[in-house]
Amino acid sequence: MAGKSTYMRQLGLIVIMSQIGCFVPARSAKLPVFDQIFTRIGAADDLVSGQSTFMVEMLEAEHAVRNATNHSLILFDEIGRGTSTYDGMALAQSIVEHIHDHIGAKTLFSTHYHELTALEDTLHQLTNVHVEVDEHDGEVVFLHHIKEGKADKSYGVHVAKLANLPDDIIDRANYLLNTYEATSSIREKSTNEEQLTLFEPKEEPPIQRDLQVVHQLQDLNLLNMTPMDAMNFLYEIKKKLD
């Protein structure tokens, strides 16, 4: 929704226009001459051949990585999204590393896997960019402006709201999103703690204890509590966390 795919298509069209001698829609442009353009944009299955969306995606990626040279342009839009999260992320990272280390083609690679932005620290030719979004009072405006650096978050629920999904679905999605993010944060914190205290005995795994606290907070009905009830509840929670 922010315009990543449009930006990638735009670059492909500008390259073609430039190489056939047309003016390009830009104040100025400095472009190399590419020998080939490889794209993997959009998602569609191939019913006639019995190929799933993910298989089509992998076949097009295979064609690119086998035939591209360091003078090629590669446009990959969300590689790996057609399968499970970990499979998709692993394949996406492996493809990025292969292009960087063995092909050297100029590449735009869009992804919703935020974990992949860490590759900027290890792949010296890789740079993160994102599409600018203005968020205010829970509302978002997509500014269609490319900025350096990684994106801070995704805006899937906001897009669903723009599509006028029922409010109860949006509210439930926001609640679940906050729950997932809190659980993920607790799990990450717990993993770090367990690594530090690997040989220390503990009565209860931190993740189990902390998740119990999260569930208690989720079930809490503040409107039916007195200030004293709230104070007592917080005191019990603090004792459990300590």
11 with 21: CB under 8 angstroms?
no
152 and 171 in a single domain? The answer is: no
| 14 within a domain of the structure (yes/no) | yes
Domain boundary among 132, 156, 180: 156
| 20 within a domain of the structure (yes/no) | yes
pLDDT, tens digit, 9 for 90 and up, residues 37-71? 999 987 666 666 677 888 888 999 999 999 999 99
pTM for this prediction: 0.71
Considering only 100-109, 124-133, 166-175, which range has the smallest mean pLDDT?
Answer: 166-175
| 122 within a domain of the structure (yes/no) | yes
Domain boundary among 105, 122, 156: 156
pLDDT for 207 equals 58
52 and 93 in a single domain? The answer is: yes
- pLDDT over 70 at 200, yes or no: no
Q: Which domain holds residue 197?
A: 167-241
- pLDDT over 60 at 204, yes or no: no
pLDDT, tens digit, 9 for 90 and up, residues 61-114? 999 999 999 999 999 998 888 787 889 899 999 999 999 999 999 999 999 888
Domain count, the chain: 2
Dihedral sign for Cα atoms in the order 23, 29, 33, 34: negative
115 and 176 in a single domain? The answer is: no
When the pLDDT of each residue in the chain is averaged and rounded to a whole number, the result is 84
The segment with the largest mean pLDDT, out of 20-29, 50-59, 96-105, 137-146, is: 96-105
Question: Is the pLDDT higher at 219 or at 159?
Answer: 159
17 and 125 in a single domain? The answer is: yes
| 162 within a domain of the structure (yes/no) | no
120 and 13 in a single domain? The answer is: yes
Q: Tell me how far apart the alpha carbons of residues 195 and 193 are, in angstroms, rounded to a whole number.
A: 5
| 161 within a domain of the structure (yes/no) | no
190 and 111 in a single domain? The answer is: no
Compute the half-sphere exposure of residue 122: CA atoms within 13 Å on the CB side of its CA.
Answer: 9
